[in-house]
Structure 1
Amino acid sequence: MNLRHYNQQISFVDALNADEFAHLHQLGYHMVINNRPDEEEGGFLTHQQEQQLADRQGIKYLYLPFTYDTLTREDVYTFHRQVKSGKKLIAHCRSGARSVSLFFLHALCEGLMDEKAFQATCRQYDVDAAPALAWYARQQQIAPVAEVHSFYEPKSGSLQYVIADPETRRCAIIDPVLDFDRNSGAVSHRQAQMMLDFIHRQNWRLSWILDTHPHADHFSAAAWLARQTGAPSAIGEKISQVQDLWKAIYHLPALPAPETIWDARFKDGDIFYIGNLRGEVIFSPGHTLASVTYHIGNCAFIHDTLFMPDSGTARTDFPGGSAEALWETLQRILSLPDDTRLFTGHDYRPDGREVQYESSVARQRSENVWLAGNDKAAFIAKRTARDATLPLPDLMLMALQINISGGNLPEPENNGKRYLKIPLNSF
């Protein structure tokens, strides 16, 4: 075992055999990252075999294979996300060289290290930096274009999205709906499966399952999709505060903590990638105190902040909502470039028109019926007055107890059935 240590947390090694794997727990490692594709010749362990060996020791395992022909920015950031977890980890490929380069590529991509420093750092680990630098040079010439597909759920008027980097064949699902029939209490996965079938037909790989906020008008299918695909799920970091509000209302003292439900809880300004498509998180409170916007490439997924220009904006009267906070959020979204494509999360089809879901910053600024001609004070007064007349969404008390758990349904009781809990006289 040719161990190379970066610090007490991170080490690199060449391909591991079964005997070496058996000692990793004794050495204090809590995670193994395998960067070697199974297709490489040499009689090495497959990733399935490594997974089994890791499972026996209770070690987390991530298969993140790449060559410099297949490497994406997403891979670089996935590795970095594991480093940020703080777990003591060991990464390997065939010789350890690619794992070393992958680790330091994050600093290079973020401008924390220049090419000369990258080369010198790799040399310290006896690694040839040339292949990684050639990959980095190619990245500077890439301008990935997002491909967006919408899926309309008519019962709640919800828009779900698949956004993809078609060059790398990576994609994300945003705000997936779990089908629920309130009359029968039946739950199904028709909407989510429809998106999975579409992704399969496109031969894309699912990179993320993203919720913009805990929804009040439909169940989230994020948890089910994560179980089906193994893709990581994410939401805004303020979900913990929403949980605190609603677990008191529902009296759910044993509600699982956010870190046990979502793989990532994004804060304002966090960066993520879908293939080579760069995503940035914009904290967007107002509708809820946990809402976020996903600004990906030239697209922004704004859900309940802005509807189509003829429909205005989200309501702000839910617990944790604020008309003033929503105004500030809208100003931030409308400061994006004029041609930014804005994708709303609902369309209620005023006057029975056809479903619409895409606008632009320029169009919203000039045409939105709640913004054009209004200043902050007028907007807050109008929004507050309107919200006072609105009934609660039909599914709110049913949906929120599911969505503050990431879409996980309540555990079965001793008769094997699951039950929703409705607080009486709370609103």
Structure 2
Amino acid sequence: MKPIPVTQKLSVAAQLQPDDFQELSRLGFKTVINNRPDGEEASQPGTDAEAAAAKAAGLDYVFIPVTSSSMTDSDVRRFAEAIVASDGPVLAHCRSGARSFYMWVLAGDVDVQGFSDDKLVAVASNIGIAPDASRAWLATHRRTGKPDVKGFYDSRTGSIQYVVSDPTTKRCAIIDPVLDYDEKSATTKTEHADEILGYVTDEGLTVEWILDTHPHADHFSAARYLKEKTGAPTAIGAHVVDVQALWKDIYNWPDFPADGSQWDRLFNEGDTFKVGTIDARVMFSPGHTLASITYVIGEAAFVHDTLFVPDSGTARADFPGGSARVLWKSIQDILALPDQTRIFTGHDYQPGGRKALWESTVAVQKHSNPHIAGQTEESFVALREARDATLPMPKLILHALQVNINGGRLPEPESNGRRYLKIPLDALEGAAW
């Protein structure tokens, strides 16, 4: 018995014998998943013997029998849920370890971000799967509607920017790019946007879309800058006009065009488009703001500030135009997506000092997010509103919205050649300090 690490939490192995379970416990494993049906060959001990050995060793035991041609959505969901539910490392096994590895891939990269095909093939090789065989399996199973997703974390604002690409055509979309801004010196830079452009060049990608999920309150959008560099069209949800109208009054800009014309396309609920060959659609997801949308690109959903990774709950709903009750309804729409759908959130604030995280799945959110699991609409609204009442406004909200409702355009230079931001005083009455 030789556990092969796949992630920090999951290892796979070939067929176990009852004597192996005590050693697994000694190694720190907490759960064993058996993916091998009984009766495949006479030498295997069978699930009853394994379950007894696991109990004697103090291990949780889960039996999810599959074959290479019969891994159902229900099987995959149970596999993902068993990993999430375990309070420590998990060992999954079958005859050789291959089925358990493939189950993990189908479960949607439960514990990791950014596993490329090359990295998956390397792990598969460690298990004993020939590279040609694993590549063929991935081409058939993993890549159907599955984009490559690269996240870029901005530690200053806790924001995550994404490049979402079709591995077949090398075409991509950029989602929620950040224009660097230092409020102390009122200095702007393009370091994060240039890092994205560098990645696009290094990977040989062609930018098809520059997408905003909503006008952000905690960072400036780099959409305009990236449009100038790439020529790609920009897009946002059609209800941005409602946000523009609200903030147009706050900034006292009577001549501001609150018609969404700052973007090349305004998306409505249910609109579709493509990233390369991968189908994409738009979900209207208000609550955090009046204009928030979710992009579902293949089997990946970019949910902006509706959900965070599970240990961080959900986003606030107390900005002008926000609503906790509307946010709950938007969350339920997202959770109605298939359980394996990868969820990519717009922010992470690293609770407890942990590393930044931004990927989960629908199944993981249902099981592990304390703002969702066991909550009703009423309890969520009470929880969300009570928490929001204690939160100060983002420090850049009044700086950022005047740029972001304008499609990422900075104010026009005045007669001396300098640009000036406009900060309305006492516009957010009742905000916590």
If the length of structure 1 is used for normalisation, what is the TM-score?
Answer: 0.66
**Structure 1: how far apart are the matches of 2:256 and 2:223?**
17
C-alpha distance in structure 2 between counterparts of 1:365 and 1:252, whole Å: 43
Which whole-Å deviations, capped at 9, do the CAs of 1:244-291 have from their partners, x for residues lacking one? 000100011222344431011000000010110111000000000100
Question: What letter matches 1:143 in structure 2?
Answer: T
Q: Deviations over 1:20-51 (max 9, x none)?
A: xxxxxxxxxxxxxxxxxxxxxxxxxxxxxxxx
Q: How does 1:35-114 map to 2 (within 5 A)?
A: none
Q: Deviations over 1:320-355 (max 9, x none)?
A: 100110000000000000000000110000000011
Counterpart residue number, 1:38: none
Aligned to 2:399: 398
Q: In structure 2, do the counterparts of structure 1 residues 312 and 203 end up closer, same or farther at CA, with 3 Å as the change threshold?
A: same
Q: 1:176 to 1:259 in 2, by over 3 A?
A: same
Query: Could you say which residue in structure 2 is the equivalent of 1:87?
Result: none
Distance in 1, Cα, partners of 2:383 & 2:244:
29
Name 1:238's counterpart in structure 2: 239
Is 2:160 aligned against 1:159?
Answer: yes
Contact 2:160 2:345 (C-alpha < 8 Å) held by counterparts: yes
How many matched pairs?
Answer: 286
2 CA distance for matches of 1:354 and 1:409? 32
Aligned 1:224-373 pairs, distance under 5 A: 224-373=225-374
* SS of equivalent to 1:397: helix
The Cα of 1:169 is off from its aligned counterpart by: 1.1
- For 2:200 and 2:259, how far apart are their aligned partners in 1? 28
Matches within 5 A, 1:119-138: none
**Secondary structure in structure 1 of the residue aligned to 2:312:** coil
Aligned mates of 2:361, 2:321 — CA distance in 1: 28
2:213 aligned partner, one-letter code: T
The equivalent of 2:146 in structure 1 is: 145
* 250-259 vs 233-242, which moves further: 250-259
Change beyond 3 A, Cα 1:169–1:245: same
Q: What value does the CA root-mean-square deviation take over the aligned residues?
A: 1.0
CA distance 1:144–1:372, shift in 2 (3 Å): closer
Q: Tell me what 1:423 maps to.
A: 424
Maintained 8 Å contact 2:145/2:299: no
Deviation at 1:148, TM superposition (A): 0.4
Is the 1:239–1:404 Cα contact (8 Å) retained in structure 2?
A: yes
Report if aligned partners of 1:271, 1:278 keep a CA contact under 8 Å in 2.
yes
Amino acid in the other structure paired with 1:382: L
Query: Which residue pairs with 1:209 in the alignment?
Result: 210
How far did residue 144 of structure 1 move?
4.1
CA contact (8 A) 1:144 1:167 kept: no
Letter of the 2:241 counterpart? S
Q: State the secondary structure of the residue aligned to 1:310.
A: helix
Q: Is the 8 A contact 1:236 1:265 kept in 2?
A: yes
1:373-392 residue CA offsets vs partner (Å, 9 max, x unmatched): 11000000111111111110
Amino acid in the other structure paired with 1:150: G
Distance, in Å, in 1 between the alignment partners of 2:227 and 2:299 is: 26
Residue ranges of structure 1 left out of the alignment (5+ in a row): 1-141
Q: Tell me by how many angstroms 1:371 deviates.
A: 1.2
**Mapped partners of 1:229, 1:253: distance in 2:** 32
SS of 1:325's equivalent in the other structure is: helix
TM-score, normalising length: structure 2: 0.65
User: Identical aligned pairs, as a percentage?
Assistant: 56
Superposed CA deviations along residues 3-28 of structure 1, whole A, max 9, x for unmatched, are xxxxxxxxxxxxxxxxxxxxxxxxxx
SS at match of 1:260: coil
2:382 matched to which residue of 1? Answer: 381
**Cα pair 1:240 1:257 within 8 Å, conserved:** yes
Q: Structure 1: how far apart are the matches of 2:291 and 2:145?
A: 29
Work out the CA distance in 1 between the residues paired with 2:144 and 2:299.
11
Structure 1: distance between partners of 2:259 and 2:342:
30
Shift of 1:303: 1.4
Whether the aligned pair in 1 keeps the contact of 2:240 and 2:260 (CA below 8 Å) is no
Cα contact 2:308–2:348 (8 A) shared by 1: yes
Tell me, in whole angstroms, the C-alpha distance in 1 between the residues paired with 2:261 and 2:395: 29
- Secondary structure in 2 matching 1:254: coil
Deviation digits for residues 178-206 of structure 1 (CA, Å, limit 9, x no counterpart): 00011111001110010011101111100
* 4+ residue runs over 6 A deviation: none
